[in-house]
Each structure stands twice: as C-alpha cells, then as structure tokens.
Amino acid sequence: MNTAWSSLSAWGVLLFLILIPDVSRGDQPVSVIFDTDITGDVDDVLALAMLHTLADRGECAITAVTVSKINPLAAPFVDAVNTFYGRPDLPIGVTRDAQHRDSKYLELVEAKDGDTYRYPHDLVSGDDAPGALTVLRHGLSAAADQSVALVQVGLAANLADLIESPPDSISPLSGIELVRRKVRLVSVMAGAFRPVRGNAHFLEANVRNGIESMQRFARQWPADVPVVWSDFLIGIAAPYPRESIARDFRYRDHHIVPEAYMLHSGPNHDRPTWDLTSVLYAVRPDDQYFGLSERGTVAVADDGFTRFTPDPQGRDRYLTMNPIQTARVIEVQRALVSQPPKD
C-alpha cells in the first residue's frame, strides 16, 4: 500500500471516496489556465494545490499558470508547487506592469535541507520567466476551440492585456478573437455584489489594488464569453479549517501547502477560501456547489466598487451559496487540497 495513502486520516480517505468523480461518464477534462496573484494571501497556494489534485483525478488539464503581481519569488514558488505535484514543466508567465507585493511565504521556495532545495524548482527569479501575455497567447492558440476555462484570482492585468493584444507571430488572431474562439468560461474571484458587514459600498482587494486593469477587463471582455464572479462573501463563508493544516498533511515530512499556510496565517486561523471557490466552480460547474445569480453586467467604478446590473442578455453572473452548499464546499475543498500528490 502506498505509504502516503496509508497515513491519511480515516476522515480523509472516506471523504476522498465520497467525492471522487464518476470517471465512467467519459467526461473530457477541463483545460485550465490559472491566473493568480500568488504573493500576499495564501489562498492562492491552496487553490493551485487543489487545481493539481483535480488534474490528478483527470477532471482538468492545467495548461499554464500566469502571475498578476510582481515579486521575484512568485514564479519560482509556482514552479516549486508545480514540481511538488509532478508537473515541473508547466509554462509560467509573469506580469511586468502591475502591483509590486511583499509576501510572508514566498521565501519558502528558497528553503534548503543541506545543499538542496526542500522544494525543487528550475526558475530562480521571475525575471527569468516569459511575459504573461506571451504565455496566455501561446496557451490559447494551442487549445481546442471552446475548451479553456480561465481562472483569474487576483488582479486583471494579464487578462486585460490579453484582450487588447493584436495579432502577432504566435497567432494571427487578436486577443479578443482568441478569447471568443478558445475560451468557454472565465471564473473570477473579485468584487462584492452584496453588502459586506453592513457596508453596501465595499471595495474588494482584487479590484481595489488594480482598478484600471479590472475596468479594462470588465469593459472589454467579449459579451458572448461568460464570466462568473466569486465575490468577497463566498470565500468568507467557506473558510479552510485549521485542523486540516494540523492533521491532513502528515503523509509527508515536508509539504509546501501547510508550510506556506503556517508562514502566512499561523496555526490558529481558518483562512477564507476566496480563490479556491473560483477553481472549484471552473472545474465542476454542474455539481451544485454553488447557485448562480441572474444574468447581468458588471461595471467597475473609479474607486473600485463593483456594480452588478441585471440584464437577461448579460455576460456576467455571480456565485451564491446556501448553508447546505457551504458545508459541501468546505468539505470538498479540504479533501482536494490535502489529497496526496500522485507518485
């Protein structure tokens, strides 16, 4: 018996068996490009781990990861996570023009045990990675038509640049033409479409920290390519349980997910799962983890406020979640994030 599996808690094994997808359906895996601001908050790390375990289950194929904030250790950290989960050669692109951000956990990528990196990686600095726009255009041009789910969990800098990009040597199609031909869905973590703690004008961080790029994205994204928003309240309602960090990763002496979590949040905090919800919806949109609002249009004000206007022909919807769905989301995210990497 695999030692990783033998050391999983009984809770984890049971939940894995309950939640494993029905592969007999013959579903094609979703092709995912993950656009992340993996610098400040640790939910990006949990979301990337969950995306890898969904790929291990055959539910998605990760084709690229792009980074939407600037920190020289962000791309190396992504490379280390990808390598930890057995995908060391995934393309990684970085923005050259967005918010610079410090981090409490990215330094983990430089940790060594003896003379070797604890978490192996090839990229040493984000300066060595290609630009995010190049990676996005390559990834879309190589994809089958209507096959890609874009998951944006951070600033909109990279997707805004994509839709404004002209034809080039990568593809004769403009960015908007590539999106219309290749993308089936954008799953975005951003905004606040309901009052937050009584504040009806709440300015959510992914918008507030990059207002101009989110305005460009919301204004120019094609009306015939659906955008589903997971707003601030969804991730707040489904926190990642601290007991999972303490218990569910013991199958490895060193595991990049709980170590990053501890550096960011410590042992006594249930961190909101903002970014995880966008991944979960993108890969399992039909599994009833969430409800959906009516159709409408999202606009971004100059102060970063996101306004949803109902429109039966609208491009945008946002996630909703009732108490039963919330319990399911917390359980499935725990199971997926803590699932051992495939050998």
pLDDT tens-digit series, residues 103-121: 899 999 999 999 999 999 9
Residue 155 DSSP SS3: coil
Q: Average of pLDDT values for 50-73?
A: 96
pLDDT score, position 106: 96
CA–CA separation, 86 and 264 (whole Å) = 24
CA–CA separation, 105 and 128 (whole Å) = 20
pLDDT tens for residues 153-172? 999 999 999 999 999 999 99
Joined together, the tokens standing for residue 324 give 């039963």
Q: Which residue did the predictor score with more confidence, 8 or 243? A: 243
In the predicted model, is pLDDT for residue 136 greater than 80?
yes
Grade residue 100 by pLDDT with cuts at 50, 70 and 90.
confident
Q: How far is CA 234 from CA 152, 263, 285, in A?
A: 15, 24, 15
Q: Average of pLDDT values for 51-69?
A: 97
Mean pLDDT of the chain: 91
pLDDT tens for residues 4-40? 333 334 334 334 333 444 333 346 899 999 999 999 8
pLDDT tens for residues 203-223? 999 999 999 999 999 999 999
pLDDT score, position 27: 63
**β-bridge partners, 36:** 67, 153
Grade residue 3 by pLDDT with cuts at 50, 70 and 90.
very low
Burial of residue 2 (number of CB atoms within 10 Å: 0-12, 13-18, 19+): exposed
The alpha carbon of 22 is separated from its chain's Cα centroid by a whole number of angstroms, namely 23
pLDDT score, position 103: 87
**β-bridge partners, 93:** 66
The reply to whether the predicted model has a pTM over 0.85 is yes
